[in-house]
Structure 1
């Protein structure tokens, strides 16, 4: 007798080598019954504790996975979702290889793999001449595939494709797989709670951090002085090098304000002073161009300043002058060591060549001698980025590097 049906999976990964260093960063499971009807779906991001790889393909940012579960956190849930079912994927060799590698890392010994079907391979017999990609196969049945390279989108499309395959073929083809899955003994695990409670779907904002300023403690009285204020402003300037506040940078600003005893209201005042200094620099040649206006608007938003401060900056200079204080203490100088991590839009070799031409020293590894780290994602979880944070080395994105070199 046919078992409960199929578990269609799709994974997004950091790369292609499951057996070595690449990891799953998103997984989706869709249940399909023996007749081809979808009966349930689950999805979650996973924290791979490493660089996310080709982010331009899967679109997942490091900040998205900072609070996501590890694979080991959901392994028992997955066992419940997969047990007794036929595993199905489009290019199943790829997805199953990553799945079993992750189970192995989590301490589960997979002695016998699940019965498995590949909708890509089945296409050659069921829809010959249609092409092998998921998009081609879906097009043959007019199945919508909007938002490819998101695990749940691809898994749902594959599940619908499986339903079409089942409807187009004799049931006798599918029953042996279903019977084998239903009667087989696979991994054993017991979830500590209902399946899916630890899972975190992409786009979920349930654990999204608040604006960093609102997390800074409001002290009464504030006993911090000029020394603490300069230290806070120095960190703020470093965090804003690329005009982007990563989650790590926001958290460090909150932590540093707490250590220094700087209150929220004082931070608000310091933010305004910092902004006014930037305005003074922008006005130093007597004109604000469109790039300077856009830059000031970006900084104002990052610092939670009201929109009217930008409007005011367009028509009048602030009372401070450039001589009062340097609004940007950080600058690259010839001989500085620069490390690049992650996949930038420009090839790394090209960047290294340009850095050398400009007198800088590109290096492959992080030491305390490094001046700057350039990451595809400023919240990168790569070992290089983690070490840079330990050493207090600034991390900027590719646009930030361009800004510093201009």
Structure 2
């Protein structure tokens, strides 16, 4: 019969932690610079993953070992800022680390005594119990012995994931040699934190930090930071976006193009925040177009990331923009997705006044053009043989009067009622009852 303690063990969670530091001794001035915590259950399933660089408050040494530079941690949170994220992920769990004593030496002072009984499971010690004759100590050696791949050595995330896999193997081997009750008695040590703070989810990952560092090195970033902090009264959004369109056509910002953008911003007394808002709007529209089929492909994400870097938009802000645009998309059926894809590049021309409204507001020509362009179609001012659709308020009253109508009949252009057209491209509208 399975004991209550063993049943409880199957419900138990383990916080597998790995650190990167500036040295080996916090007592002699060394600091934590990266941390990762993987939460797993008894079966080894990953329940939560947390990683962040940590600002050490001093210059970093040993770059050749861990690959972390001063520039990478420049915008990272301090250990005191992420203390609640660490504590919330350790609370109610058993701590696991390779060389647990080393991890505790750095964590205990950093967490300011919040954990009084700092115990856990050391995979190094557990490995020596399971295979005492192996003589292996380092994480990469033991992982290699048990055929565990470490994706990127000396990164907290890769090491913690490898340690989690190693722990799963070692505890299973231990339970083959000993009783599971022995494991519960000798290794299970649940951390309890009184008045445990809620997690804040503060973090900066390596890739994000590198992107931020690259952005902050750019000429455009430097010049934007020199703009006034006082917002200008006149914001030439269209003019600025037009310059951006031309400058970013080849996905390269030359020195001349950068200077032109900054000069335009200065001429209109635009503040840094106003310029960044226009940049975000430009990127938002690009994301919107790529999300027409509700999927961002690898090539589309590469382009979005490139434009984001060129416009000095930080990775976290980009994530928020993508998330926001995803929430605005109406879920479409596969047949509708196929239809939207087939419409990309088609040209549209309007005839007469527009009657439809969005949320009670009549669609004007400017909004109509924006809605069409965001969906990958092209707006034409005049009807020609290259126009695919002529949009009119009422098809049943359509006649050959008017130059556009005559041209549409001459070139056999598809004439479509406004409401049907909006529905076709996925825009929800209500229509005015007035005719004509």
Larger radius of gyration: 2
Please, what TM-score do these two structures have when normalized by structure 2? 0.46
Q: Specify which structure has the bigger relative contact order, considering alpha-carbon pairs within 8 angstroms and separated by 6 or more residues.
A: 1
